[in-house]
Amino acid sequence: MNQLDALKQFTTVVADTGDFKQLAQFQPQDATTNPSLILKAVQKPEYQPLLKDAVARFGHLPMDEVIDRLLVRFGCEILSLIPGRVSTEVDARLSFDTAATVARAHRIMALYQAEGVARERVLIKIASTWEGIQAAAELEREGIRTNLTLLFAFCQAVACGQAKVQLISPFVGRIYDWYKKSAGASWDEAAQAGANDPGVKSVRQIYQYYKKHGIATEVMGASFRNVGQITALAGCDLLTISPELLAQLAATEAPLSRVLDPAAARSLDLAAVSYDEAAFRYALNEDAMATEKLAEGIRAFCVDAVKLEALMKA
């Protein structure tokens, strides 16, 4: 059995891509997209027709709505190839506006429903800012499921659990990137690999806390840099993985065993914590890595959203 098939025994495998033509070979349950992945896809010749069709049919509408229609088109194509859910992201430029995030989520969901897609098959991706988490809480109360992304800090995960969001996406690779860059020449790759990887440790802490305290929010590790980070989180609720790393897993037959286990987590002595807005902002501010990576991630998604708009206009 290859490692991808082995992983599927105890973790829901999710494809992290806008390039939906690659999906069939890996047979993931779910798929995730983001503005950067969609931008990357539409620059490939095989996806140019989707971009041109969106402009031809909806170019008379405001640009933000044309973008949402393109994102939903990609989502519908993906859903035709997978049995589960697709995650579609709200414009990152709304990351600090609760009401605008809710409104955009409503529009995205309405566009999916107009295409005959059931609510249960769509997760609305929202940045894990305080405002984003409050928007997600409101949407969840309405029955719209959310995926809280750009998550780097334990306090973000706790607040998402309090908000009863459907799923969170802690970013393993970007946490790893920050610590590696911060350490500079003193970074010891071997010593910081596997279970000792700082991104892996972050997801493990969140997973154990959720299971210990009966928090139903799903944990989906994301943003992987290597297969070792994935295998070190085997047993996590879900893992969203790029096609390149899915291919590496499928090509490897080394043994793979479960690492994260809910029963083991429930036996741990972990105190319950909670955050109001002030405590959340203070805790996030105290975490330099999370503060920097959250801001950097929002900026990067905003830049790619602008680039996508430029392609539309061209």
pLDDT for 35: 85
> In whole angstroms, what is the distance from residue 137 CA to residue 102 CA?
10
CA atoms within 13 A on the CB side of 10: 16
Instruction: Select from 27, 39, 97, 30 the least CA-distant residue to 71.
Output: 39
> In whole angstroms, what is the distance from residue 132 CA to residue 305 CA?
18
- Please give the average per-residue pLDDT across 7-18, as a whole number: 97
- Please give the average per-residue pLDDT across 7-25, as a whole number: 95
Beta bridge partners of 222: 171
Provide the whole-model pTM: 0.97
- Please give the average per-residue pLDDT across 223-239, as a whole number: 98
pLDDT for 205: 98
Q: Which two tokens stand for residue 250?
A: 């499928």
Residue 210 has pLDDT above 90, yes or no: yes
- Please give the average per-residue pLDDT across 228-238, as a whole number: 98
Question: Which positions ≥6 away from 226 have C-beta within 8 Å?
Answer: 245
Residue-wise pLDDT for 35-87, tens only, equals 899 999 999 999 999 999 999 999 999 999 999 999 999 999 999 999 999 99
Residue-wise pLDDT for 102-149, tens only, equals 999 999 999 999 999 999 999 999 999 999 999 999 999 999 999 999
pLDDT for 87: 98
> In whole angstroms, what is the distance from residue 293 CA to residue 265 CA?
28
CB atoms within 10 A of CB 254: 10
Residue 221 has pLDDT above 90, yes or no: yes
Q: In the annotation, is 125 catalytic?
A: yes
Question: Which positions ≥6 away from 57 have C-beta within 8 Å?
Answer: 69
User: What are the structural domains, with CATH classification, of the chain?
Assistant: 3-313 (3.20.20.70)
Residue-wise pLDDT for 166-207, tens only, equals 999 999 999 999 999 999 999 999 999 999 999 999 999 999
Residue-wise pLDDT for 254-302, tens only, equals 999 999 999 999 999 999 999 999 999 999 999 999 999 999 999 999 9
CB atoms within 10 A of CB 190: 7
DSSP3 helix / strand / coil % (the chain, rounded to 5): 55, 10, 30
Q: Where are the beta strands (DSSP E) in 95-251?
A: 122-127, 146-151, 167-170, 218-221, 238-241
Classify residue 108 as exposed, middle or buried by CB count within 10 Å of its CB (0-12, 13-18, 19+).
buried
Task: Determine which one of 8, 21, 125, 181 is catalytic.
Answer: 125
Question: Which positions ≥6 away from 125 have C-beta within 8 Å?
Answer: 32, 33, 34, 87, 88, 89, 90, 146, 147, 148, 149, 169
Indicate the pLDDT class of residue 224, thresholds 50, 70 and 90.
very high
Question: In the 8-state DSSP scheme, what is residue 218?
Answer: E
Q: 235 in helix, strand or coil? A: coil
